[in-house]
Amino acid sequence: MDRVLLGICFALMAAGSSQAAISLLGDGPVSQCARAAHDYANKDEDLAACDQAVVEAAPEDKAGTYINRGVLLLRRKQYDAARADFDAAERLNPALGEAVINRGASYVAQRRYLEGLAEIDRGLALNPEEPEKAYYNRAMANEALDDKEAAYQDYTIAWELAPHWDAPREQMLRLRPKQRVLLLIRRTP
The CATH number linked to 30 is 1.25.40.10
> Does residue 120 belong to any structural domain of this protein?
yes
Over residues 147-188, the pLDDT tens digits come to 999 999 999 999 999 999 999 999 999 988 765 445 555 555
> Does residue 182 belong to any structural domain of this protein?
no
Amino acid of residue 165? W
Confidence of residue 39 (pLDDT cuts 50, 70, 90): confident
Q: Which residues, 6+ apart, have CB-to-CB distance to 89 below 8 Å?
A: 63, 64, 66, 67, 70, 96, 98, 99
Give the angle subtended at the CA of 172 by the CAs of 171 and 174, to the nearest 5°: 65
pLDDT value at position 36?
A: 87
pTM of the entire structure? 0.80
Whole-angstrom distance, CA of residue 92 vs CA of residue 127: 17
> Does residue 12 belong to any structural domain of this protein?
yes
**Number of domains into which the chain is organized:** 1
Give the angle subtended at the CA of 6 by the CAs of 67 and 84, to the nearest 5°: 25
What Å distances lie between residue 26 and 35, 62, 70, 104, CA to CA? 10, 14, 20, 29
The DSSP code for 110 is: T
Confidence of residue 132 (pLDDT cuts 50, 70, 90): very high
Whole-angstrom distance, CA of residue 171 vs CA of residue 168: 5
> Does residue 118 belong to any structural domain of this protein?
yes
> Does residue 183 belong to any structural domain of this protein?
no
> Does residue 6 belong to any structural domain of this protein?
yes
Whole-angstrom distance, CA of residue 21 vs CA of residue 14: 13
Whole-angstrom distance, CA of residue 40 vs CA of residue 180: 42
Answer whether residue 113 shows pLDDT above 50.
yes
Answer whether residue 12 shows pLDDT above 90.
no
For residue 71, the enclosing domain spans 2-175
What is the chain's alpha carbon radius of gyration, rounded to the nearest angstrom? 19
